[in-house]
Amino acid sequence: MEFKDAKILRIYIGEEEHYKNKPLYEQIVLKARKLGLSGATVLQGILGFGAESHLHSSKLLDLSIDLPVVIEIVDNAENLKKLYPFLEETIKEGIVTVENAKWKNFSDQ
């Protein structure tokens, strides 16, 4: 089994972040798809805090809205760079990380 070099782009935002009246996480995934990136996954956190140290929780008694959301996209560095201008334009609060990875796309067989 041969693995190729790849990058993991992780975007940390709040689920209440919007762009053009739609959830930002949805807009990012749609843009990644339009750009032909390999795929994207949105994960909703159950607990987290951001720059202001305000705790966001899914516990019923906390009634927190704006739970943490992580969008993960795995592709090569060149393809991921196509998404950077859109992220610069749309993300007002959040963190974006890029990490080295190895991948094997089993659907290519």
* Cα–Cα distance, 26 to 11 (Å, whole number): 12
Q: Express each pLDDT in 24-83 by its tens digit.
A: 999 999 999 999 999 999 999 887 776 666 666 655 555 556 789 999 999 999 999 999
Please state the pTM of the whole predicted model: 0.86
Residue 59 pLDDT: 57
Domain boundaries of the chain, sorted by first residue: 4-104
What are the counts of helices (DSSP H) followed by strands (DSSP E) for the chain? 3, 8
Q: Under CATH, what is the fold of the domain 4-104?
A: Alpha-Beta Plaits (3.30.70)
* Cα–Cα distance, 103 to 29 (Å, whole number): 20
Residue 106 pLDDT: 83
* Cα–Cα distance, 58 to 96 (Å, whole number): 23
Can you tell me whether residue 86 is helix, strand or coil?
A: helix
Residue 107 pLDDT: 77
Q: What is the mean pLDDT of residues 1-24?
A: 94
Q: In sequence order, which residues have a C-beta less than 8 Å from that of residue 103 and are 6 or more positions away?
A: 3, 4, 6, 74
Number of Cβ within 10 Å of residue 37's Cβ equals 19
